Amino acid sequence: MALPHNLWLPALLGALATLHAYLALDTIPRVAAARGAVAMLWLGFGAAVLAVGVWTTQYLGHAGTSGLGGARAAVAGGIAWASAVLALCQAARGRAWLAGILLGTGLVLATTFDQRLDRPGMASCLACMLLLGAGGAMAALAWRERRPPAPRVWSAAVLLGLTIAALPVAGNALAPDAAMRPPAQVPGAAAFVISALVLLLAAVVQLAQRELARQAAQIRGELESARQALVHQAFHDALTALPNRAKVLAQLQELLPEARRDGQDVAVMFIDLDGFKSINDTLGHEAGDEFLRRVAEALSASVRPRDTVARFGGDEFVVVLERFRNRENLGAICEKILARVGAPVLVAGQKVTATPSIGVAVFPDDGAEPTELLRHADIAMYAAKERGKAGFCFYEPQMIARASERLALSTDLREGLGRDELRVCYQPKVDLRSRRLVGLEALARWAHPTRGHLPPSMFIPLAEDCGLIARLGERVVREVAGQIARWRAEGLPLVPVAINLSMQEIQGVNFVPSLLRTLAEAGLDRHAIEFEITETAAMTDVHTTLRHLRELEALGFRIAIDDFGTGFSSLSHLRQLPARTIKIDQSFVHGADASHHDREITEAIIALARKLRLHTVAEGVESEQQARWLVQAGCDIGQGYLFGRPLPPGETATLLAAGFAGAPIDA
């Protein structure tokens, strides 16, 4: 076999063959990934690039004298292309060994198809070329599959390129004499240009395809990100990033069957914030949102990482607990939540708080389905509110009856406000010494069509929870203002009428404008009405309460603190409140007969009020003995059954005309 006289030609052939091999091998994953016509296009394209490389290498390897032009060139290229098609197809299916055999055989056939096979030593030369071609192609394709992604194509291309370049060198040994062959029909420079153009075209096509693939991957990534964002949005709360109701239901659907199978308990806690509405209405929604985020953090810190904290909307949260020890352990967790969530936090420059009420339902005792557990936990939460708020309550079966009763009553109340079923009665307040009438307290009564007359204790808390307290309060103010105007028109002597005020009412944006409009329509002076607010409500959010009460005082309304002694007032806050009167809760007056502690507390409250230059009103006075003791203690005014029960407007008019309720204490 004759060796070349210089090495530049083999080096050039190896470089050309390597470039063609690289571009052809780079189409294999595209063929494998595509389907149908697209796969066939990539297969034909890759085979064509490789075939041109084989043809160019064969032509230049014979130094331009092989006669591989015209029909012979077409046949050689066709053989190379067909073998490349078969080889790339098998390589795309992961059959490197078969692809190598097909490609190597095709390369040898393309090199020797026009050689005389009857010359001496031809069989051994063909065997060597087949071994070289098939072995090199198999090694290159197998190498491509086993190497890491980045270097494997280039290393396989170099190996395949060297194999392709070596075949014409070996083929030259089979040519008896260059002079015996027909002259080349394609100049060597033209063959090189053809090869370069094909390489350029293939590179442009593959670069364009890679750019399209990159853009497609980017679009897929953006779509996947958008899909994940939508999924997250569908199952998480936008404000706190906590799971939402849909997520909790889906989680419980998976968790409860596992818990049933493993004999494990699952607890669901339903949490509602008492007093959150006042924060939202007073400081604004941004401050309310910030407060909710702080609550979410406090809840998450109160439970284990594996437990779920979710927000159902508004100020309602749910906690799902897995694998807890016992109900005592649940009680301890509830206490921790009450302490952390109920702690004051700084929002919008003010310290605010909203105490949680917690209802607990346990699987499987309190429900076997997710919706049933959540409903029972919700019912238990309302039971906790009824027991005084800022506490927790475990679900009990009898709560369903109370919840149904509550739902029916709230519906009746909403309809009753529309049907004008609310009535206002008036209870006298008298000077304890002279028994002279000094004021009235307006008390709402509900004339229910089937239940009869219902006291405020049955429907006022319900109205607050159902969001009806503002409508009810406006109704009472209008009724009282109208009644005072009618008494004035009858020429009756008037006394201030006290109206109980809820913090939800006073924090409503329409409360003051509606109040002033009502008084203007009735033609009343603002001193005709005073407002009573409970000590507990006044201390819920001191700064907010002070601001609203001072606004009412500036408008000319008098303020009284109701049920004094039952809350947790501090002296500094009491001193700041714009109140002229404190009302001693009736529990102390009633208890004074049997308990010296209640008597001492009452006397201390009266002494404190005198020091602060506040008037005192004792509620629940039912006997002359109580009245005399209160006078001795220094109390100014009394209110209770001794002086009169709540009276309808007609009987109240008679009382106003008389001006007295009972005989003076000195008589």
The structural domains of the chain, with segments of one domain joined by +, span 8-213, 245-397, 407-658
DSSP bridge pairs for 454: 446
Residue 179 in this model has a pLDDT that exceeds 50: no
pLDDT reported for residue 98: 79
* Distance separating alpha carbons of residues 555 and 211, to the nearest angstrom: 73
pLDDT at site 94: 74
> Residue 309 in contact with residue 331, Cβ under 8 Å?
no
Number of H helices, E strands in the chain: 25, 16
Residue 442 has pLDDT above 90, yes or no: yes
DSSP state of 580: S
The C-alpha atoms of residue 623 and residue 222 are separated, in whole angstroms, by: 80
Cβ atoms 599, 564 nearer than 8 A: no
Q: Where do we find the tokens 């005399």?
A: 628
pLDDT bracket for residue 181 (50, 70, 90): very low
- The per-residue pLDDT for range 149-164, each reduced to its tens digit, is 545 666 777 777 777 7
Query: What is the residue-averaged pLDDT of the chain?
Result: 80
How do residues 323-359 score in pLDDT, each as one tens digit?
877 888 888 899 999 989 888 888 877 788 888 999 9
What integer pLDDT is reported at residue 180 of this predicted model?
41
Question: pLDDT at position 667, please?
Answer: 42
Residue 265 in 3-state DSSP?
Answer: coil
- Asked, colleague to colleague, whether 245-397 and 407-658 share their fold, the answer is no
**Could you tell me if 132 and 107 are in contact, meaning their C-beta atoms sit under 8 angstroms apart?**
no
Nearest partner of 121 among 176, 164, 68, 163, judged by Cα: 176
What pLDDT does residue 664 have?
65
- 191-241 pLDDT per residue, tens: 666 677 777 777 777 777 777 778 888 888 888 888 887 887 888 888 888
| For residue 639, pLDDT beyond 90 | yes
Judge whether 655 and 437 are in contact, CB under 8 Å.
yes
At 498 the pLDDT is: 94
Phi and psi, residue 360, nearest 5°: -125, 130
Region 95-114: mean pLDDT is 73
Q: Are 560 and 580 in contact (CB under 8 A)?
A: yes
User: Averaged over 617-622, what is the pLDDT?
Assistant: 92
For every residue of 141-184, which 3-state class applies, written as one string? HHHHHHCCHHHHHHHHHHHHHHHHHHHHHHHHCCCCCHHHCCCC
CATH code for 245-397? 3.30.70.270
| pLDDT above 90: residue 430 | yes
Q: Assess whether pLDDT exceeds 80 at residue 166.
A: no
Question: Helices (DSSP H) in 284-369: which residue ranges?
Answer: 285-302, 327-341
- Determine the average pLDDT of the residues in 654-664: 80
Q: How confident is the model at residue 280 (pLDDT cuts 50, 70, 90)?
A: confident
Rounded to 10 degrees, what is the CA torsion of 133, 136, 138, 141? -120
Closest CA to 361 of 269, 234, 437: 269
- The stretch 295-306 carries a mean pLDDT of 90
pLDDT score, position 182: 46
The percent of residues in the chain predicted with pLDDT above 70, rounded, is 82
pLDDT for res 67: 45
d(CA 39, CA 27): 10
The H or E element spanning position 445 is strand 437-448
pLDDT digits (tens, 9 = 90+) for 392-425: 999 988 888 777 877 888 888 888 888 888 889 9
**Strand ranges (E), 264-400:** 266-274, 308-313, 316-322, 345-347, 350-352, 355-363, 392-394
DSSP 70-125: HHHHHHHHHHHHHHHHHHHHHHHTT-HHHHHHHHHHHHHHHHHTTS-SSSTTHHHH
Q: Which residue has the higher pLDDT, 537 or 645?
A: 645
For residues 601-606, give the mean pLDDT.
Answer: 88
Structural contact between residues 352 and 344, judged by C-beta atoms closer than 8 angstroms: yes
Question: 106 and 82 in contact (C-beta within 8 Å)?
Answer: yes
CA angle 620, 623, 628 (to 5 degrees): 100
Q: Is the pLDDT of residue 609 over 90?
A: no
Residue with more model confidence, 297 or 535: 297
CB burial of 59-92 (b: ≥16 within 10 Å; e: otherwise) equals: bbbbebbbbbbeeebeebbebbbbbbbbbbbbbb
Q: What is the largest CA-CA distance in the chain?
A: 157
The CATH architecture to which 407-658 belongs is Alpha-Beta Barrel (3.20)
Neighbours of 587 (CB within 10 A): 16
Q: Which residues pair with 638 in a beta bridge?
A: 430, 618
Please provide residue 600's backbone torsions phi and psi, each rounded to the nearest 5 degrees: -65, -40
Q: What is the DSSP letter of 4?
A: P
In DSSP terms, 322 is beta-bridged to 266
The pLDDT value recorded for residue 542 is 66
